[in-house]
């Protein structure tokens, strides 16, 4: 890990396919978001690199920049069914800043080791110089893994 990438892991008691089915759905991103910024999404489930969807955002949830409500375009940059998915974020009115969010999924005894990452190492220098990265702290990535676990794990009591 470097100082331009955050990465967290958690073992989730669900199959890679169950987890991936959430991550490939635009509404899945909204459902597991721990930041409160993702309000809703429009678009079809993604199936390949290059697929896109729109997310309606509300930056006021972070109370850091007074951006209010706005839309972003999510473009899939990595797609390996049940194993890896990543995307970049661009403003609808301007291009991407160069930061990438993603997940890798590895089957392990008892479930799936999920790695969530946020990488801004390829961001344009002007954005790095603006000192806006990371947009979300490591704790937000970790909390989103908690919501993903809650969303995908079989929570039926065992006897």
Tokens describing residue 13: 């008691």
The CATH number assigned to the domain with range 5-152 reads 3.30.530.20
Angle, helices 138-152/16-23, rounded to nearest 10 degrees? 120
pLDDT in tens, 86-141: 999 987 556 678 889 999 999 999 999 999 999 999 988 888 888 878 878 899 99
**pTM of the predicted structure, to 2 decimals:** 0.88
pLDDT in tens, 5-48: 999 999 999 999 999 999 999 999 999 998 888 889 999 999 99
- φ, ψ dihedrals at 147, nearest 5°: -70, -40
For residue 58, what is the enclosing H or E element? strand 52-58
Give the number of C-alpha atoms closer than 13 A to the C-alpha of residue 103, restricted to the C-beta side. Answer: 27
């Amino acid at each position: 890990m470097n100082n331009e990438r955050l990465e967290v892991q958690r073992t989730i008691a669900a199959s890679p396919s169950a987890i991936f089915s959430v991550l490939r759905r635009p509404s899945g991103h909204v459902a597991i978001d721990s930041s409160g910024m993702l309000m809703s999404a429009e678009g079809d489930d993604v199936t390949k690199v290059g697929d896109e969807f729109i997310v309606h955002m509300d930056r006021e949830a972070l109370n850091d920049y007074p951006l209010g409500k706005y839309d972003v375009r999510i473009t899939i940059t990595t797609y390996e069914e049940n194993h890896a998915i990543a995307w970049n974020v661009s403003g609808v009115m301007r291009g991407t800043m160069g930061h990438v969010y993603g997940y890798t999924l590895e089957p392990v005894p008892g479930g799936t080791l999920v790695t969530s990452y946020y990488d801004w190492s390829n961001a344009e220098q002007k954005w790095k110089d603006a000192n806006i990265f990371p947009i979300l702290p490591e704790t937000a990535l970790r909390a989103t893994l908690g919501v993903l676990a809650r969303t995908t794990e079989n929570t039926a009591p065992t006897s």
